[in-house]
């Protein structure tokens, strides 16, 4: 990763150009013009400018701007915030939780330490230290001879370590980069990230709008079918009648028809995604996590939509009404008509303007009404899906239980992609991970249904592929009851980000910028538990879960896929605990390889 030239950085410090300090979210250094809107960031970047995207915080709607930017700066969030996770995956520098950065009301400027930056001003960010500077600071790329020496050192490390090193990757490009950095598998492929692409987001949004109604109708018919299987003869006729009515409701339901159409479109996207990732990994293990994100992440913010609806209503009423503007334009045209008639072709010009003014009047009103209807429908959906605490709400396996068709679609896509590659001569064995499990009954309900879907898909394609179903251990109750859960799973992976958040009752997006750094500075905590595992608390839960699972099966596979998978001290603990692998972002794979070797040699201990 590029870093600032030490001499240039020191000169900037002496000149008083240090603007703010936040949390280093993703390593590396970058300079560019500050841009405070993702759409404008894309335009500036495509015109050849180097851009630093500056936001309060990022969300999935900002991803296109993050991709085009050279780096990201946010005033909120921590090491596991959206901005930090996405930029680490992309290999871009990022500073998060920069709370001394205060945005002005115009949305085009921000202040810190009595200084002002406006959109278009040059700034520089250091993702390792969290520092933000005014102006341009020269960066230095690693020397090729340094990389040659590093590769030799890593080859020695590989021969000394026991612990496997995998990577977190959501795209074929990420997977290829992970392999180039020495990853031996993919420990976490986050499928929700695949839905945030511009051409896919409308489909998942429509799915969320119609899914509950459609899924309830489908589930009602299935429950009657289930009752019918074991019903005595005296009840069968009545149940058959109920089933016929339920199936007719499904056949006549526009929601069900549209639900299946949207699922089919998303399945095609997902099949291509998984095919690319499996192919990039060339037969190495790939763990795919089924949809996990809180549902609100796929929707625009409530405040933004409310503002848009109010603005559209204003434009359709009173002084802001579109037709009123056209009427005023027509008045001006009439006033100027006598002058226009004096010039050549003036009469034709007046006739043309008059005709098109009427056309614009109708079109403007119709377009604004359509747009208002769309925004109001989206606002209604946002209100319907609103949760007070979405991170603890309707997400992960809970969505799989309430709308099982979504998980079934993902499983079909995974197995279809694996079968296609098997036909091409590449052996692929996907590992499918069910997230946010807190009770064994969630797995007891989901796993048989998903396994049946995988088997049906494989049989329909006539290709023999193997697959595993496992779960993330990221809820404290799951860790405490791991022995029960291990009976229903074929592997575990510790989701240490959420496990840390739930164990400490810390909001991972707020704690670092609000009080966690103060806790560390004043020795309330020895270290930031989101950066390095809390061995005595979170680690104890992991130890209990590992012990219980290995009591069920001594060879039970267990890994870790949170951000701790790239932290040396956390890796040492995982090695001591006997985990099979750690999984880190692609750019942290070399660090993990070295740390795993150092732990095996007793050079670092947790």
Domains and CATH numbers, the chain: 3-140 (3.50.30.10), 151-211+241-298+392-600 (3.20.20.60), 302-385 (no CATH)
d(CA 479, CA 18): 44
d(CA 185, CA 169): 10
Nearest residue to 440 via CA among 554, 583, 586, 552? 552
Q: Are 509 and 481 in contact (CB under 8 A)?
A: no
Taking only the tens place, the pLDDT of each residue in 255-307 is 999 999 999 999 999 999 999 999 999 889 999 999 998 888 888 888 888 88
Half-sphere exposure of 474 (CA within 13 A, CB side): 26
Q: Please tell me the least confidently modeled range out of 230-234, 307-311, 487-491.
A: 307-311
Dihedral pair phi/psi, residue 21, rounded to 5°: -135, 130
Six-digit token pair at 378?
A: 């989206």
Confidence of residue 141 (pLDDT cuts 50, 70, 90): confident
d(CA 212, CA 520): 45
Q: Are 138 and 30 in contact (CB under 8 A)?
A: no
Is 574 one of the annotated active-site residues of the chain? no
d(CA 208, CA 297): 12
Q: 162 Cβ partners below 8 Å, 6+ apart?
A: 575, 596, 600
Six-digit token pair at 258?
A: 């549209």
d(CA 351, CA 338): 12
Taking only the tens place, the pLDDT of each residue in 331-377 is 666 666 666 666 666 666 666 666 655 544 444 677 888 888 888 88
Annotated catalytic residue within 82, 203, 296, 564: 82
Mean pLDDT, range 111-123, rounded to an integer: 95
User: Exposed/middle/buried for 145, CB within 10 Å: 0-12, 13-18, 19+?
Assistant: exposed
Q: What is the pTM of this model?
A: 0.83
Six-digit token pair at 67?
A: 């991709």
Q: Are 106 and 116 in contact (CB under 8 A)?
A: no
d(CA 341, CA 213): 62
Say what the pLDDT of residue 360 is.
Answer: 47
Q: 493 Cβ partners below 8 Å, 6+ apart?
A: 187, 188, 287, 433, 470, 471, 472, 473, 558, 559, 560, 561, 583
Q: How far is CA 343 from CA 336, 351, 355, in A?
A: 12, 14, 19
The dihedral over CA atoms of 446, 447, 452, 455, expressed in degrees to the nearest 10, equals: 140
Taking only the tens place, the pLDDT of each residue in 532-568 is 999 999 999 999 999 999 999 999 999 999 889 999 9
| Structural element, H or E, at residue 338 | helix 322-340
Estimate the crossing angle of helix 201-230 against helix 254-281, to 10 degrees: 110
Annotated catalytic residue within 94, 98, 397, 561: 561
Six-digit token pair at 379?
A: 């606002």
Q: Please tell me the least confidently modeled range out of 143-152, 171-180, 286-295, 531-540.
A: 143-152
Is 94 one of the annotated active-site residues of the chain? no
Q: Please tell me the least confidently modeled range out of 223-232, 233-242, 368-377, 457-466.
A: 368-377
């Amino acid at each position: 990763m590029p870093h600032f030239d030490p001499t240039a950085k020191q000169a900037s410090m002496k000149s008083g150009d240090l603007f703010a300090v936040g949390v280093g979210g993703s390593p590396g250094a970058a300079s560019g013009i500050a841009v405070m809107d993702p759409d404008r960031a894309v335009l500036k970047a495509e015109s050849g400018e180097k851009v630093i995207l500056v936001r309060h915080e990022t969300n999935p709607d900002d991803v296109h701007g993050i991709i085009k930017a050279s780096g990201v700066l946010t005033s909120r969030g921590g090491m596991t915030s959206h901005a930090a996770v996405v930029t680490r995956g992309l290999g871009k520098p990022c500073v998060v939780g920069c709370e001394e950065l205060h945005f002005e009301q115009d949305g085009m400027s921000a202040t810190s330490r009595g200084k002002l930056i406006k959109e278009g001003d040059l700034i520089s960010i250091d993702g390792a230290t969290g520092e933000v500077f005014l102006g341009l600071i020269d960066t230095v790329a690693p020397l090729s001879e340094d990389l040659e020496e590093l590769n030799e050192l890593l080859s020695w490390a590989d021969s000394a370590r026991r612990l496997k090193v995998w990577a977190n990757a959501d795209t074929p490009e990420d997977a290829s980069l992970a392999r180039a950095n020495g990853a031996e598998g993919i420990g976490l492929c986050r499928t929700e990230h695949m839905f945030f692409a511009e051409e896919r987001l409308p489909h998942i949004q429509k799915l969320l709008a119609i899914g509950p109604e459609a899924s309830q109708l489908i589930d009602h018919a299935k429950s009657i079918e289930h009752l019918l299987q074991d019903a005595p003869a005296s009840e069968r006729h009545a149940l058959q009648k109920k089933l016929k009515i339920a199936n007719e409701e499904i056949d006549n339901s526009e929601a069900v028809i549209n639900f299946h159409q949207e699922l089919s479109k998303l399945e095609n996207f997902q099949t291509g995604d998984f095919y690319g990732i499996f192919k990039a990994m060339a037969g190495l293990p790939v763990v795919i996590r089924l949809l996990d994100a809180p549902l609100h992440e796929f929707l625009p913010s409530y405040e933004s939509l409310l503002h848009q609806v109010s603005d559209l209503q204003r434009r359709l009423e009173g002084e802001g009404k579109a037709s009123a503007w056209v009427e005023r334009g027509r008045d001006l045209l009439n006033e100027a008509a006598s002058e226009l008639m004096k010039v050549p072709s003036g009469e034709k010009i007046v006739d043309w303007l008059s005709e098109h003014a009427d056309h614009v009047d109708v079109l403007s009103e119709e377009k604004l009404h359509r747009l208002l209807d769309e925004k109001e429908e989206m606002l209604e959906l946002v209100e319907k899906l609103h949760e007070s605490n979405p991170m603890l709400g309707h997400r992960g396996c809970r969505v799989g239980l309430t709308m099982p068709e979504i998980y079934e679609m993902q499983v079909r896509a995974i197995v279809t992609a694996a079968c296609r590659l098997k036909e091409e001569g590449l052996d692929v064995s996907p590992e499918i991970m069910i997230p946010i499990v807190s009770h064994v009954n969630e797995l007891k309900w989901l796993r048989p249904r998903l396994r049946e879907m995988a088997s049906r898909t494989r049989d329909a394609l006539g290709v023999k592929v193997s697959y595993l179903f496992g779960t993330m251990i990221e809820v404290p109750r799951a860790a405490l009851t791991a022995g029960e859960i291990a009976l229903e799973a074929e592997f575990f992976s510790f989701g240490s980000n959420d496990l840390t958040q739930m164990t400490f009752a810390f909001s991972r997006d707020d704690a670092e910028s609000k009080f966690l750094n103060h806790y560390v500075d004043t020795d309330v905590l020895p270290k930031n538990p989101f950066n390095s595992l809390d061995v005595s608390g979170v680690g104890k839960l992991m130890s209990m879960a590992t012990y219980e699972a290995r009591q069920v099966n001594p060879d039970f596979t267990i890994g870790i896929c949170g951000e701790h998978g790239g932290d040396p001290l956390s890796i040492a603990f995982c090695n001591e605990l006997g985990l099979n692998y750690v999984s880190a972002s692609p750019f942290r794979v070399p660090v993990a390889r070295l740390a795993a070797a150092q732990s095996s040699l007793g050079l670092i201990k947790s």
